[in-house]
């Protein structure tokens, strides 16, 4: 494809994308295909000779697009929002055009510098203290691919930091490197990461990958499924008595199952007795709500600014930024670079040697990195902070409309967890049915029937302690309006009443 062919194909692609968004409501929300559908439609090998672009574009529309679940559909209410914008699409196009690995400042200075600038923009928009700004003496931030990558990255940093402290305290001038290596292996086998039973699986996965232990502390319905200080204290004391080494805690602002917020204020008090524990906040979904002044107390912004070592949120969920854009803010960037810096001769640069520029490869697991900040820059400039806040408030307002519809009791639906952010967790609870197993069976049947209508609306399920099987309904898609919430509720009620009738 030459420049003129690209120009023509580009115009066609933009037209196709515009048409897709003009007609997105005509698509089934969830892809109506079976596993293996695409392999049946495509050749077993790549073509020997190149094909005409028109044929490739046609096959995308006719063969690939039917297998896409439409996260931008106004009736997508599953998982969490997966926002994108036209600004973000254009940014990714430009970033692809200047494709480069961005590992050092010198390989493309703008890739590094725009990332640092936009991360400071978001830190200020969220009310994070100057200690987390890239312009501060110690703090810093970086854009990574996901909250999972962030959890592994900070776990590595936390592990190496505590090991370094222990070596400094216990090693002597006579201690050999072999002895230190052996001792580190023994210590690592005793290290433990803490979270709650509602902490996202990123915590368990980070522990698995690094060969560490993970302890999920029980939470209760009466506490709103939040991790409390008393439960954390007991877990820490129990594990220390067993000779284990607590070194990291993941607190959550907006859990996946119910949107719960751990009691960061109580946790802060507990950690005064454990100052070496790395305190990471996973706010993948709800962290963007720090942009709303009225939500900052609920998010425990004061504790975040006073005590936590690291904070992360996914702007590619509810924050309008096209996937991938997970922001990590750390109080001391040296904790990352001490654990992750490897500089062979071929990666050295004049600026790096002089310490005059930050090489972001030293704050992440991989070497290469994408130009992710461009879509953040495009989107924030186009929307402004005001537009960003309006988007969040709209999602919250639509969620409140759904909650009020449930209260009308057109079907015996019950909200079973405090509504949080733009998330509602509910289930079918007919009058007189109190047996937990019977209710779970009924709601699993309700869920199965909801799945038969995933062409019209898409939701996801979860289980909650002391409640059981539930259904999640989340708002936040930019195209959604009140009419879509009303449509979704009508379908949910229709299915609920059918399930009850069939159960009689």
pLDDT tens digit sequence for 289-321:
999 999 999 999 999 999 999 999 999 999 999
Within 10 angstroms of residue 386's Cβ, the number of other Cβ atoms is 8
- C-alpha to C-alpha distance for 494 and 472, rounded to whole angstroms: 17
Within 10 angstroms of residue 429's Cβ, the number of other Cβ atoms is 17
Long-range residue pairs from 97-104, CB within 8 A, at least 24 positions apart, any chain? 98/371, 100/371, 101/367, 101/368, 101/369, 102/360, 102/368, 102/369, 102/370, 102/371, 103/347, 103/359, 103/360, 103/361, 103/367, 103/368, 103/369, 104/347, 104/349, 104/351, 104/352, 104/359, 104/361
Query: Largest alpha-carbon pair distance within the chain?
Result: 79
CB 421 within 8 A of CB 289: yes
Query: What is the SS3 assignment for 225?
Result: coil
- What average pLDDT does the segment 15-43 reach? 97
Alpha helices in 136-228 (DSSP H): 147-170, 177-189, 202-210
Predicted confidence band of residue 139 (pLDDT cuts 50, 70, 90): very high
Number of H helices, E strands in the chain: 15, 11
Highest mean pLDDT among 172-181, 248-257, 346-355: 248-257
Provide CATH 3.90.1150.170 ranges for the chain: 1-30+69-84+386-504
Residue 53 pLDDT > 80: yes
CATH number (1.25.40.10, 3.40.50.1000, 3.40.640.10, 3.30.230.70) of 137-346 reads: 3.40.640.10
CA distances from 497 to 65, 415, 446, 455, 461 (A): 34, 17, 9, 19, 19
Measured at the CA of 388, the angle between CA 387 and CA 394, to 5 degrees, comes to 85
* Domain 1-30+69-84+386-504 in this protein, CATH class: alpha beta
pLDDT tens digit sequence for 355-414:
778 899 999 999 999 999 999 999 999 999 999 999 999 999 999 999 999 999 999 999
Provide CATH 3.40.640.10 ranges for the chain: 137-346
Lowest mean pLDDT among 17-31, 170-184, 301-315, 462-476: 170-184
Mean pLDDT for the chain overall? 96
Q: Compare 120 and 177 and report the one with higher pLDDT.
A: 120
Q: Provide Rg for the chain, Cα atoms.
A: 25
Share above pLDDT 70 across residues of the chain, in percent, rounded to a whole number: 100
- C-alpha to C-alpha distance for 173 and 280, rounded to whole angstroms: 34
pLDDT tens digit sequence for 429-441:
999 999 999 999 9
Predicted confidence band of residue 171 (pLDDT cuts 50, 70, 90): confident
For residue 294, the model assigns a pLDDT of 97
For residue 180, the model assigns a pLDDT of 86
- H/E run at residue 125: helix 109-126
Residue 347 pLDDT > 90: no
Query: What is the SS3 assignment for 458?
Result: strand
For residue 307, the model assigns a pLDDT of 97
Residue 468 pLDDT > 80: yes
For residue 246, the model assigns a pLDDT of 97
pTM of the predicted structure, to 2 decimals: 0.95
pLDDT tens digit sequence for 218-250:
999 999 999 999 999 999 999 999 999 999 999
CA distances from 426 to 81, 402, 459, 475 (A): 18, 11, 11, 14
């Amino acid at each position: 494809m030459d420049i003129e062919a690209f120009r023509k194909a580009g115009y066609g692609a933009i037209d196709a994308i515009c048409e897709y968004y003009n007609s997105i409501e005509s698509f089934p929300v969830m892809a109506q295909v079976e596993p293996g559908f695409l392999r049946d439609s495509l050749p077993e090998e790549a073509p020997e000779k190149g094909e005409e672009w028109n044929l490739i574009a046609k096959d995308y529309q006719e063969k690939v697009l039917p297998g896409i679940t439409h996260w931008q559909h106004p009736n997508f209410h599953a998982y969490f929002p997966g926002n994108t914008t036209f600004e973000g699409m254009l940014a990714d196009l430009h970033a692809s055009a200047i494709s480069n690995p961005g590992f050092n400042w010198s390989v493309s200075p703008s890739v590094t510098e725009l990332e640092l600038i936009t991360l400071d923009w978001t830190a200020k928009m969220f009310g994070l203290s100057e200690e987390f700004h890239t312009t501060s003496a110690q703090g810093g931030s970086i854009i990574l691919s996901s909250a999972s990558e962030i959890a592994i990255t900070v776990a590595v940093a936390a592990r190496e930091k505590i090991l370094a402290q222990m070596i400094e305290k216990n090693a002597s001038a006579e201690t050999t490197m072999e002895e230190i290596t052996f001792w580190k292996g023994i210590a690592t086998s005793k290290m433990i990461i803490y979270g709650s039973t509602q902490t996202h699986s990123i915590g368990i996965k980070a522990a698995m990958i690094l060969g560490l232990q993970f302890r999920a502390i029980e939470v209760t319905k009466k506490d709103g499924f939040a991790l409390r200080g008393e439960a954390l204290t007991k877990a820490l004391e129990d594990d220390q008595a067993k000779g284990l080494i607590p070194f990291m805690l993941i607190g959550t602002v907006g859990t996946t199952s119910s949107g719960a917020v751990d009691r960061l204020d109580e946790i802060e008090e507990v950690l005064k007795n454990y100052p070496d524990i790395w305190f990471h906040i996973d706010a993948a979904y709800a962290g963007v709500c720090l942009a709303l002044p009225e939500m900052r107390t609920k998010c425990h912004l004061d504790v975040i600014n006073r005590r936590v070592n690291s904070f992360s949120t996914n702007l590619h969920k509810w924050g309008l930024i096209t996937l991938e854009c997970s922001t990590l803010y750390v109080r001391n960037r040296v904790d990352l670079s001490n654990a992750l810096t490897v500089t062979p001769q071929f990666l050295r640069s004049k600026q790096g040697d002089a310490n005059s520029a930050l090489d972001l490869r030293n704050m992440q697991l991989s070497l290469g990195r994408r130009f992710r900040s461009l879509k953040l820059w495009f989107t924030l400039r186009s929307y402004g902070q005001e537009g960003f806040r309006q988007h969040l408030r709209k999602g919250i307002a639509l969620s409140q409309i759904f909650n009020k519809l449930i209260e009308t009791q057109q079907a015996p639906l019950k909200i079973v967890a405090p509504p949080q952010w733009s998330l509602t967790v509910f289930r079918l609870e007919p009058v007189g049915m109190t047996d937990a197993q019977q209710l779970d069976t009924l709601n699993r049947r309700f869920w199965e029937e909801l799945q038969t209508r995933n062409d019209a609306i898409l939701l996801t399920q979860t289980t909650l302690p002391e409640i059981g099987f539930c259904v999640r309904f989340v708002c936040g898609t930019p195209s959604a309006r009140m009419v879509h919430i009303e449509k979704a509720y009508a379908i949910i009620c229709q299915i609920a009443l059918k399930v009850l009738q069939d159960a009689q």
